[in-house]
Amino acid sequence: MSDLTRMTAAGLAEKIHSREVSAVEVAQAHLDRIAAVDGDVHAFLHVATDAALASAAMVDERIAAGAAPASPLAGVPLALKDVFTTSDMPTTAGSKILDGWRPPYDATVTARLRAAGVTILGKTNMDEFAMGSSTEYSAFGPTHNPWDTTRVPGGSGGGSAAALAAFEAPLAIGTDTGGSIRQPAAFTGTVGAKPTYGGVSRYGLIACASSLDQAGPCARTVLDAAMLHEVIAGYDPMDSTSIDQPVPAVVEAARHGAGGDLSGLRVGVVRELSGEGYQPGVRASYEDALRQLEKLGAELVEVSCPHFEYGLAAYYLILPSEVSSNLARFDAMRYGLRVDGGASAEEVMAATREAGFGPEVKRRVILGTYALSSGYWDAYYGQAQKVRTLISRDFAAAFEQADVLVSPTTPTTAFPIGDKVDDPLAMYLNDLATIPTNLAGTAAMSVPSGLADGLPVGLQVMAPALGEAVMYRVAAAYEAARNSEDGVVIDRVPSLEVSS
């Protein structure tokens, strides 16, 4: 494995911009790594070899001409979740119904990455339409966790997280509807952040649940995630929910946090996310993290968010309801798959959806359609929205007592492939700790917090809306403390054995 693939994004950028190494060499090293290990990992659905090398060459030409790099990450490779439209690559959202579809336009996130000179290596695997917690619901086969290829990498963005953990890319983009960035980060020993809802444009992001979906950065270090965050975030008039406010100074906060001093900060320990139901090793890792935060000078404050216990139930009414509305656009009439199922448009539509949608998508469409149906809207969807309001109020009250909140990211470590795929309720419980933040629209991230039974565990750091700066500061301080005690986190991610 090339030394270039083990470097941080910040380190690669420094070498590229100083002309110590070319962006083309860096891109090629990662493409070679993908060729060597992705047969075992299956992180990518599409590898854009020619486009990636051409993009990297443009960065080299600009630097050679004496011009400033387009951004601090110019020339650094990235893996893009296959839920963002890309005009030069297929965009499938992990579904047969979009197999081979090439969009006529780029998502805003895609466009911002290109404008920043980031080298897009290709599109990563995901649960179909971002519905899942294991990447087993992809129509194109599961992704495998690089720590143990018999286990899942989490979901729905398991491809992006696995690409990072397998050293196929130093950066990735994910989306988080109920934990789809943070849960894979915890399962793969990487970093993943869900920005404030509206902090990153959703234009060109194929919708799962429009009031919950949020794009965000994935990386192997907190600083790398912060640098990517600043590239993709910011107001976009093409997204009606986009926040017209300055992007929080997360890179500065991450650099400051790496100094390791959290004196004066209050860290809220959420009672409802700190009780029973966690794997013993996950629990032990969390308790160690709390002690470490205290050593860094933070004041631990217990806070109660009593309505969090209803979050899972509310989420699995709100999300399917929005899914049933959003996926109605896949009608076999305009783009994507078309199956000849009869003489009428309705028959063609029914046959196409039967062939094109997977079982989890069908399950959620049916649930959502039922929840929105006449006579049931008030009892289900309406009640769930009231719970959502109560959860938002819980967060508001908690943030009056603490600057950030913390919890384990997931109840368990990565589970074996096939272990929960036929048990939807068991699968849904993976998002127990991550869902409340999506319902409230606030910010959260997962940072590696050690190992349990040889597998990664994540610490979740939650912040108020547009409070990403303090979130990155705390995460960076904790990361730095772990590095100094345990060795460099990045070097503990396993290197897959590649047969000769």
Q: What is the pLDDT of residues 281-330, one digit of tens each?
A: 999 999 999 999 999 999 999 999 999 999 999 999 999 999 999 999 99
> What residue ranges do the domains of the chain occupy?
3-309+388-492
Does CATH number 3.90.1300.10 belong to domain 3-309+388-492?
Answer: yes
User: Average pLDDT in the 169-183 region?
Assistant: 98
**Is cis: bond before 156, omega within 30 of 0?**
yes
Whether 488 shows a pLDDT value over 50: the answer reads no
Residue 425 has a pLDDT of 86
pLDDT bin (cut points 50, 70, 90) of residue 188 is very high
Within 383-469, strands assigned E span: 404-408, 443-452, 455-463
Listed residue (48, 129, 37) closest to 82, CA to CA? 129
> 331-357 burial string, b = 16+ CB within 10 Å, else e?
bbeeebbbbebeeeeeebbebbbeebb
Instruction: Please give the C-alpha separations between residue 248 and each of 42, 107, 164, 233, in angstroms, as whole numbers.
Output: 34, 22, 25, 9
Instruction: Tell whether pTM > 0.75.
Output: yes
Distance CA 233, CA 210 (A): 17
Whether 491 shows a pLDDT value over 60: the answer reads no
CA angle 439, 440, 444 (to 5 degrees): 95
CA atoms within 13 A on the CB side of 201: 23
Would strands 119-124 and 299-303 be described as parallel, antiparallel, or unpaired?
unpaired
User: What are φ and ψ of residue 287, in 5° steps?
Assistant: -65, -35
User: Average pLDDT in the 7-14 region?
Assistant: 98
Of 71, 156, 160, 242, the active-site residue reads 156
Give the residue with greater pLDDT, 374 vs 43. Answer: 43
Of 81, 123, 194, 420, the active-site residue reads 81
Range of weakest confidence among 96-105, 337-346, 426-435, 468-477: 337-346
**Is 123 known to be catalytic?**
no
Residue 32 has a pLDDT of 98
Distance CA 460, CA 483 (A): 18
**Is 81 known to be catalytic?**
yes
The model's pLDDT over 16-35, given as tens digits with 9 standing for 90+, comes to 999 999 999 999 999 999 99
**Is 194 known to be catalytic?**
no
Residue 500 has a pLDDT of 28
Of 22, 55, 138, 180, the active-site residue reads 180
Distance CA 202, CA 241 (A): 8
Whether 499 shows a pLDDT value over 60: the answer reads no
